[in-house]
Structure 1
């Protein structure tokens, strides 16, 4: 009996020890050791973007990781416009159009000789003065008509930056190829996912690195710090000197270092919400379209619908088609329309929502403006949410094939756009592969398939008046422009490229 009792006691003690040293899944020690999808995304960005952006990556990284994200408010033209604008101005917000025109007046009178004599401290004070003038002007009148310029400068401009911009920006730079670095790195080509649709050239830029199970496949790595343009294809680049703001598109923002939040929008007398909040950099692709009365516009990848709504606010399009690939994404577009446009005006005859794969839309020569805001790695989202995170193990193959998908969508847009029409390509990624790399590949593919002639628009001059709000980073960019996040204005990233078909 005593022996049986001892055996039972020993078993119970063993169970107690097992319980003592086996923690539950929600125990702090287990949670601390667990590597999240967000952690994997950050590690990937540190390895790749740290190499691409150099010293700038530290500040970009800090801004991306901040919980507070800065927005702009797009006034709903289908609601009480004057009341909404007045209330936003009372909160201290400024009309983006007013800011642009204020700085544009100054830049038109700006001379390099005067600039060289100015001290940085003086310039900063003048910038603050101009913003204050813009605020007063916005309150006095919703549209700037008789503004007299003041002698001010942009706080983001200095002598060294101008020299670099004039001599290097939007020009191809000499890059080392992967082959030239084989002595320093080991490449396992078996782990590269190759294209099966004729766009395999993209994978000159898309190697994979070490594997610790499938979840550790990554798109780019520190071993590939050299960005190499595929092939020797060249495209004509033309300067664009002004950014056009449609009369009825009213976008409000707070100045740099002002993190004030817009109140939640309310419904006005027409039964729709007052304004739509979106990332401050997301308005730029819409503005780059240069919308004009009578345009026939296609938003190829429209969900959730913010850019579609911004296009609607201009009252410019004769027809607008908002498209996306799945029922769930199309539903998100309908939700935005129902909240901001439902039952207003004659838009049921001019606005159409479709569900198609953007790669196979075949409405050739129908549209003269196409917005191609493609799926991407959504750099900010993957650092703040586990939901639908692109760095989940289940989405490895999808992530590796993103550049191929992007290039296929852009290629189709360039094929179906009418002659004289404009295509604007955009992503919310910092990756040069998903940005300039995709643009270069699509331009090359279209030329080979159709012999069409495209012109890329260099918008540096047109964007200069917005340098007080956006930090445009031109590192190694040949085709487009990119807004990088900053602590003062934490929006972006947003890459966009304007392309016109002339034949």
Structure 2
């Protein structure tokens, strides 16, 4: 009986073929073709959003971002063989960024300004020689001339008696500025209403509910652009002070020479640190000076903190981050480049804390706020730890809120007169100017503090031959956009001064 049933079943299968669908392995070409990677999602997102922001220039920026090799700069370690390192780098054709900055600054100076400075120098030299030859005589003559000139410039009081006090009209700072110096787009106006919550929405709720592959951030950008009534007036910063001992080397535009991996010198520490060229700009924006107290709120992996230390200027530096793995990475960098020989624990320390919870009020006068962001370049090249992973959608949507809270805390704790520099490695106006706008508005509402945002465009002009600065979509900060000639960035930074 059993044999008969088996025989019938075999005959039936021979007549009727039943198709069986087999699942391919994850590495099969058909699966790979249909699978959307995190880097692919990131690219779709950027194409959708950044095309809206950067227009025709997005194609070139995109090409540079997708290039397999980025460009680096070499930060010389002052605790190794500094002169030897600099000489070696120069022999490869590398240029000291500080030297380049001051050379270009002279070339950019208007001709009439240079001529006026030469005339002043000549006049000053002649006056010094005259005073040396006949000091007493010239002093007597000058006294007589002053007496005569005072008599000539006196005005009558109406009764024939001279008025020896000249009238002077004192103007307020605002009135004393010429109209052309006023930048009406850079005035903080707390009386104007701002639809604050619109930036926190970040994406339309329907998009999140549908869990689509990428977020139409461009729709949120339109809301931000239409509702941004908060404006900031900036004091124009015309000069950038380049620390004397900060030596950074780079190659000129179109020169893709790569720096060799650093080696240990005679002191047992590595010769130089390789970092994205854009990363040095937030450090320069801090305008570090002797005896500064510096906090790097989100310090890992440590390149910017190391650059701060290489200036040899601050009295204290605190490098903070919120995870043990990240603070361990900081310690590793300091061990490789400082080896405990340069700074005492009182001068350099690592702290483990959420940047939003730091309560050291009025301790620091310089705070660097290099916040977590979409890290655009990394998102296009690495699937590991990619912010565009499906499992990290919620985290990505909350980025602007997190960034604004961190910046807000920095604005609260920095000392009056101190500087806060906010930075990201993203091209997103929401994460950049949008967050600055949110934090300034919220700070005014909660603390009544006043701030000034510095417009660094003029001071950065001598570096335009190395960095590709873009003004598209910006009101408050500056952004370096990648280009094939100098593939640095992206790097956004904004300098904020706490007035009171």
Q: How does 1:86-485 map to 2 (within 5 A)?
A: 86-110=87-111, 171=185, 200-203=197-200, 206-207=203-204, 210=207, 213-214=210-211, 216=213, 218=215, 220-221=217-218, 224-225=221-222, 227-228=224-225, 230=227, 232-485=229-482
Partner deviation per Cα, 1:367-399 (whole Å, 9 max, x = no partner): 000000000011110110111110111111111
Q: Is the 8 A contact 1:199 1:404 kept in 2?
A: no
Distance 1:297 1:101 in 2: 26
Q: Is the 8 A contact 2:94 2:250 kept in 1?
A: yes
- Give the aligned CA root-mean-square deviation in angstroms: 2.8
Distance 1:14 1:365 in 2: 84
Q: Is the 8 A contact 1:219 1:399 kept in 2?
A: no
| TM-score (norm: length of structure 2) | 0.79
Structure 2 counterpart SS, 1:500: strand
Gaps of 5+ in 1: 113-165, 174-197
Distance 1:490 1:74 in 2: 17
Distance 1:99 1:359 in 2: 38
Structure 2 counterpart SS, 1:389: coil
Count of equivalent residues? 425
Give how far 1:478 is off: 1.2
Give how far 1:450 is off: 1.0
Q: Is the 8 A contact 1:301 1:373 kept in 2?
A: yes
Q: 1:211 to 1:234 in 2, by over 3 A?
A: closer
| TM-score (norm: length of structure 1) | 0.79
Give how far 1:200 is off: 3.4
Partner deviation per Cα, 1:102-159 (whole Å, 9 max, x = no partner): 10011113579xxxxxxxxxxxxxxxxxxxxxxxxxxxxxxxxxxxxxxxxxxxxxxx
Q: Is the 8 A contact 1:326 1:355 kept in 2?
A: yes
Q: 1:16 to 1:270 in 2, by over 3 A?
A: farther
Give how far 1:4 is off: 3.8
Distance 1:169 1:468 in 2: 26
Q: 1:15 to 1:276 in 2, by over 3 A?
A: farther
Give how far 1:212 is off: 8.3
Gaps of 5+ in 2: 114-179, 188-194
Match of 2:135 in 1: none
Q: 1:212 to 1:234 in 2, by over 3 A?
A: closer
Q: Is the 8 A contact 1:219 1:400 kept in 2?
A: no
Match of 1:78 in 2: 79
Q: Is the 8 A contact 1:369 1:423 kept in 2?
A: yes
Distance 1:411 1:462 in 2: 26
Give how far 1:14 is off: 9.8
Partner deviation per Cα, 1:50-95 (whole Å, 9 max, x = no partner): 1111111111111111111111010011111011111111111110
Q: Is the 8 A contact 2:202 2:397 kept in 1?
A: no
